[in-house]
Amino acid sequence: VSPENGPEVSDATRVLRRVFGYDSFREGQREIVEHVVAGGDALVLMPTGGGKSLCYQIPALVRKGVGVVVSPLIALMQDQVDALTALGVRAGFLNSTQDFEERRQVESDFLAGELDLLYLAPERLRLDATLRLLDSGVVSLFAIDEAHCVAQWGHDFRPDYLALSALHERWPDVPRIALTATATPATHAEIASRLSLQDARHFVASFDRPNIQYRIVPKSEPRRQLLELIRTEHPGDAGIVYCLSRSSVEKIAEFLAGNGIPALPYHAGLDARTRAENQARFLREDGLVMVATIAFGMGIDKPDVRFVAHLDLPKSVEGYYQETGRAGRDGLPSTAWLAYGLQDVVQQRKMIDTSEGDDAHRRRLAAHLDAMLALCETVECRRARLLAYFGQQGAPCGNCDTCLSPAESWDATVPAQKVLSTVFRLMRERRQKFGAGQIIDILLGRKTAKVIQFDHDALTVFGVGTELGEAEWRGVVRQLLAQGLLAVEGDYGTLVLTDASAEVLGRRRQVLMRREPDRPARAARAAKS
């Protein structure tokens, strides 16, 4: 069968078996491969670990010419090329890490038709020299990996991706396949329009990862909670712990190592060699825990990551889904665990307020955060919420914390009114703003130095909140923030009222909150003493 006539599917199956050594296609792969082999454009939404690579690698091997893969993951190109080379596939890459001689060699291989796959960093495609090079060879297809990087408001936006819309104009007959694991209906639409893929066939796989157990717990003592998770459920397992800042990455990695758990740090502040070394060790050795910022993980293919723990709140549901998706690619039971608290909400709101960009940008960030908070505070199935976010249906799953121990909601209207009226009185009677700590001290009737200094024990609300403890009050404030009934302002995380606060203060609105489960760590220690 000549390639020009459209090869038979059996060619694809043969390549799957002979080159990659797999018996059969996974769900969705066959249709995608067939479509691209036949020269069609495709937009593929498939969760991490679903097997996206084969969807362009096999068509590249079946079709005549070189498959050009655009990928932002420069650090991984060498690994990908090595892996393909080991299978006997002729692959090369062009990116900024190479010297002139290495590039020239790859270019001449390309021109001589001695490559099956050529990986390119997106910024290469802005160079005239690259475009001319591609013109002088035969391109079998363009694969645009991590296609959500073209979405301007997404969390991984790369300006260089915008230039990829030109591929279609310059090479109208070369099929394009864009792939991503991150796509809300809005991102999906944005990818299609920015890459001119409206007429492409869209393949949307289920985003459910049934083997991942989702759990979101209130943060009390994060280090202890993390240690307990690892010791009781994942001793000796490989895992990833995500932290927001470089310094907490360092500290948590040290803390784990000090407690006998082999852990390595990974963040953009480490020099390139240490980063590469730590990553290589994590991939090769068993049972290492990688403590990392979100700089770690895109494109990492380690099948047996048994848990992903977040010690800080992710900025968006997309981020959360993508990071937790690195657990359990082998299909075996895995844990996605997130500890989150009042301080997370305060900190993230503050970061949004002080972020660069215009108001529309800040509103976008706030909407992302709100969706993440709604997932944290829901009393419904986490998985069903997560799938709904990606526009997909799901019944209660039986494998998330709310399914396993159903969360109740409780009527928190009165406590909410107490918090809000304290903030209101401080603002109106004293023209003062304070953070959560001071508000809670006032409610609990604590005569701290700061309470006395500001004469807050004279307020009528002083001591009206003794029915709850400090942790419960922090939970109430956190959920008020999450529900937009309270807002954070300025550098010190001071609390201010929102328009919606008035409805609660005016008794026109009921406030329901998620009841916090008993904290296992505290209960266990209480039992011991």
Binding partner at 403 among Zn ion, ligand ADP, none, C-beta below 5 to 8 Å by kind: Zn ion
Output 67 or 465, the one with its CB closest to ligand ADP: 67
Binding residue for Zn ion, selected from 386, 397, 451, 511, defined by CB under 5 A: 397
400 interacts with Zn ion by CB under 5 A = yes
Helix ranges (H only) for 6-47 are 9-18, 29-37
Length of the chain: 529
Q: Would the CA dihedral through 147, 152, 156, 159 be positive or negative?
A: positive
Q: Cβ of residue 53: shortest distance to ligand ADP, in angstroms?
A: 3
Chain residues in the site for ligand ADP (CB under 6 A): 22, 25-26, 29, 46, 48-54, 301, 303, 329
Q: Cβ of residue 24: shortest distance to ligand ADP, in angstroms?
A: 6
How far apart are the C-alpha atoms of 499 and 509, rounded to whole Å? 12
Q: Cβ of residue 170: shortest distance to ligand ADP, in angstroms?
A: 26
Give the SS3 label for residue 118: strand
Output 28 or 465, the one with its CB closest to ligand ADP: 28
Output 84 or 290, the one with its CB closest to ligand ADP: 84
**110-145: burial string, b at 16+ Cβ within 10 Å, e else:** beeeebbbbbbbbbbbeeeebbebbeebebbbbbbb
Binding partner at 25 among ligand ADP, Zn ion, none, C-beta below 5 to 8 Å by kind: ligand ADP
Footprint (CB under 5 A) of Zn ion, residues 403-432: 403
Radius of gyration (C-alpha) of the chain in whole angstroms:
26
Strand partners, 201: 42
124 interacts with Zn ion by CB under 5 A = no
Q: Taking CA 316 as the corner, what is the angle to CA 315 and CA 321, rounded to the nearest 5 degrees?
A: 120
Site string for Zn ion, 338-377 (x = CB under 5 A): ----------------------------------------
Q: Cβ of residue 210: shortest distance to Zn ion, in angstroms?
A: 10
- Cβ proximity of 461 and 422 under 8 Å: yes
Binding partner at 397 among ligand ADP, Zn ion, none, C-beta below 5 to 8 Å by kind: Zn ion
Q: Cβ of residue 179: shortest distance to ligand ADP, in angstroms?
A: 7
Q: Which two tokens stand for residue 507?
A: 């008794």
Binding partner at 387 among ligand ADP, Zn ion, none, C-beta below 5 to 8 Å by kind: none
Binding partner at 456 among Zn ion, ligand ADP, none, C-beta below 5 to 8 Å by kind: none
Helix ranges (H only) for 9-165 are 9-18, 29-37, 53-62, 74-86, 100-111, 128-136
Q: Cβ of residue 46: shortest distance to ligand ADP, in angstroms?
A: 5
State the number of binding residues for Zn ion (CB under 5 A).
Answer: 5
What angle, rounded to 10 degrees, do the helices at 74-86 and 272-284 form?
A: 40
Binding partner at 326 among Zn ion, ligand ADP, none, C-beta below 5 to 8 Å by kind: none
| Strand bridging mode 486-489 / 201-204 | unpaired
- Cβ proximity of 274 and 323 under 8 Å: no
**Stretches 322-330, 392-400, 421-429, 486-494: which one binds Zn ion (CB under 5 A)?**
392-400
Output 303 or 357, the one with its CB closest to ligand ADP: 303
How far apart are the C-alpha atoms of 97 and 107, rounded to whole Å? 15
381 interacts with Zn ion by CB under 5 A = yes
How far apart are the C-alpha atoms of 69 and 179, rounded to whole Å? 11
User: From residue 251, how far is each of 247, 279, 292 by CA, in Å?
Assistant: 6, 18, 11
- Cβ proximity of 160 and 123 under 8 Å: yes
- 185 Cα distance to chain centroid: 16
Which helix H or strand E contains 497, and what residues bound it? Answer: strand 494-497
Q: Cβ of residue 87: shortest distance to ligand ADP, in angstroms?
A: 10
Binding partner at 50 among ligand ADP, Zn ion, none, C-beta below 5 to 8 Å by kind: ligand ADP
For residue 527, which amino acid is it?
A
Output 115 or 308, the one with its CB closest to Zn ion: 308
Q: Cβ of residue 213: shortest distance to Zn ion, in angstroms?
A: 9
Output 23 or 128, the one with its CB closest to ligand ADP: 23
Binding partner at 46 among ligand ADP, Zn ion, none, C-beta below 5 to 8 Å by kind: ligand ADP
Strand partners, 44: 179, 203
Output 22 or 410, the one with its CB closest to ligand ADP: 22
Binding site for Zn ion (CB under 5 A): 381, 383, 397, 400, 403
